[in-house]
Structure formats: structure tokens, C-alpha cells
């Protein structure tokens, strides 16, 4: 029997991933582990930086009015979805990564980056301003049993490890090795997506579902 795919990422990404899964004829369990909300913040002087580092579309989605003060700075985006969100908001995109945060920061060495981030998504060695919060939700983990759980971040992996009633009955599809490692051991099986993208993660999960 084909396992259902449990989508753990926050909204609105949760609904988007679940819709892609269902479009392929598979059953999606919508079980966001976190809720995203904006926080009060003040933009620094844009003259102190060469570009914005955006590692989640949530920074654009929840950045609010202070983003206007940074409109002159181009964006270095961690992936295509984040780049698309920045462009839709009117920012110019300078570079788009495909191998995670560390790789895009290394590629931007020598560029003064300002990271607009969630309180749990600090990037080492880069000036960071927190523009949104990601708070845990109380969820019933029972539907996870017998599923393939899609882990979109290290924090989601750690949270899943906390609430999973029986790891031996849950298969993990992780967006990165870091996300997989954060979930620990004891799962029925673990696989890491070939690229840190939602599409690649769904492809990996679909293979595990069978």
C-alpha cells in the first residue's frame, strides 16, 4: 500500500506542497508544525550593505513596510522560490543558489550581506535582522504513523523527533542532510533530496511512498 505524504512546513507553503502531491494522485496529510508571524523590526542603513540575503520567502512575505527602506539593495536568494518571491515584491535578484545557505554565502564572499531572517534561521558570519517568527504548534502526531514525513528544515526535523509517537513507523524525506541529521535516528528509512527544493523533496518522498 502506498504511504501518504505528511507535509510539515508552515502555511502557506504547506498548502502549496500538499497541492503538488495531490496533483500527482497521492494522499497528502497537512500537518504544519509551526506558524509564521511578522515581528517588529527596523531596517539598518542600506549604505552599509551590498545585497540582501534571503533564505526564506517568509522574509519577503512578512517583512512589512521596513522592506521599502532596503529596496535599493539587490537580493542574493537561497533558491528559485525565494528569488521569485523577491522579484514579485519588486526586488532585483543578484544571485540564486541551488545548494543551500552555506554555498550561496561562500559564493557571495566579499559582498556585504544583510540577512533578513526568522528568529531560528540565523546564518553564520552574516549580519542578520529578524523579521518574522516561527512558533511551534500543538499538533496530534497520530496521522504521521505509516507516512512519509517531508522535512523542509533542520528545525522541522528536530520538532518531528520530539513529537513522533513511533519513529520506526515513519519514513523521512529530508530536504538536506542537515535536516535529516536534526531528526536523529530510529526512523523506518531516511532519504535526502538531490537538491534543496520542494520539487526535489516531493520526488524523493514519492519514491519512498512506494
Query: Can you give the residue ranges of every domain in the chain?
Result: 5-33+139-209, 37-135
**Do 47 and 73 touch, CB atoms closer than 8 A?**
no
For the domain with range 5-33+139-209, which CATH number is right: 3.40.50.740, 3.40.50.10090, 3.40.50.300, 3.10.100.10?
Answer: 3.40.50.10090
Q: What is the pLDDT of residue 196?
A: 84
The second-level CATH assignment, the architecture, of 37-135 is 3-Layer(aba) Sandwich (3.40)
pLDDT in tens, the chain (210 residues): 799 999 999 998 999 999 999 999 999 999 999 999 999 999 999 999 999 999 999 999 999 999 999 999 999 998 888 999 999 999 999 988 877 788 888 888 889 999 999 987 666 678 999 999 999 999 999 999 999 999 998 899 999 999 999 999 999 999 999 899 999 999 999 999 998 889 999 999 999 998
- List Cβ neighbours of 188 (8 Å cut-off, separation of 6 or more): 167, 168, 169, 170, 171
**Do 191 and 202 touch, CB atoms closer than 8 A?**
no
**Do 85 and 78 touch, CB atoms closer than 8 A?**
no
Q: What is the pLDDT of residue 83?
A: 93
- Which residue matches cell numbers 528569488? 83
Q: How many CA atoms lie within 13 A of 53 on its CB side?
A: 30
DSSP structure class, residue 25: T
**Do 169 and 145 touch, CB atoms closer than 8 A?**
yes
Q: What is the pLDDT of residue 98?
A: 74
Q: What is the pLDDT of residue 39?
A: 95
**What distance in Å separates the CA atoms of residue 75 and residue 52, rounded to the nearest whole number?**
5
φ/ψ of 202, rounded to 5, equals -65, -40
Q: What is the pLDDT of residue 122?
A: 64
The reply to whether 5-33+139-209 and 37-135 are identical in fold is: yes
**Do 144 and 161 touch, CB atoms closer than 8 A?**
no
Q: What is the pLDDT of residue 75?
A: 96
Prediction pTM value: 0.83
Q: What would you measure as the largest C-alpha separation in the chain, in angstroms?
A: 58
Q: What is the pLDDT of residue 145?
A: 96
Amino acid at each position: 500500500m502506498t504511504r501518504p505524504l505528511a507535509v510539515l512546513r508552515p502555511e502557506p507553503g504547506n498548502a502549496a506542497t500538499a497541492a503538488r502531491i495531490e496533483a500527482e494522485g497521492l494522499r497528502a496529510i497537512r500537518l504544519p508544525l509551526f506558524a509564521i508571524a511578522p515581528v517588529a523590526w527596523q531596517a539598518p542603513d542600506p549604505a552599509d550593505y551590498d545585497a540582501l540575503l534571503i533564505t526564506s520567502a517568509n522574509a519577503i512575505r512578512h517583512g512589512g513596510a521596513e522592506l521599502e527602506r532596503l529596496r535599493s539593495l539587490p537580493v542574493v536568494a537561497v533558491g528559485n522560490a525565494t528569488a521569485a518571491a523577491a522579484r514579485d515584491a519588486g526586488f532585483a535578484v543578484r544571485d540564486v543558489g541551488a545548494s543551500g545557505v552555506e554555498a550561496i554565502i561562500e559564493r557571495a564572499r566579499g559582498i556585504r550581506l544583510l540577512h533578513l531572517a526568522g528568529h531560528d534561521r540565523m546564518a553564520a558570519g552574516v549580519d542578520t535582522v529578524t523579521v518574522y517568527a516561527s512558533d511551534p504548534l500543538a499538533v496530534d502526531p497520530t496521522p504521521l504513523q505509516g507516512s512519509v514525513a517531508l522535512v523542509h528544515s533542520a528545525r522541522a526535523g528536530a520538532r518531528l523527533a520530539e513529537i513522533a509517537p513511533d519513529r520506526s513507523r515513519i519514513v523521512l524525506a529530508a530536504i538536506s542532510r542537515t535536516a535529516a541529521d536534526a531528526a536523529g535516528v530510529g526512523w523506518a528509512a531516511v532519504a535526502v533530496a538531490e537538491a534543496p527544493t520542494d520539487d526535489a523533496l516531493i520526488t524523493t518522498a514519492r519514491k519512498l511512498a512506494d
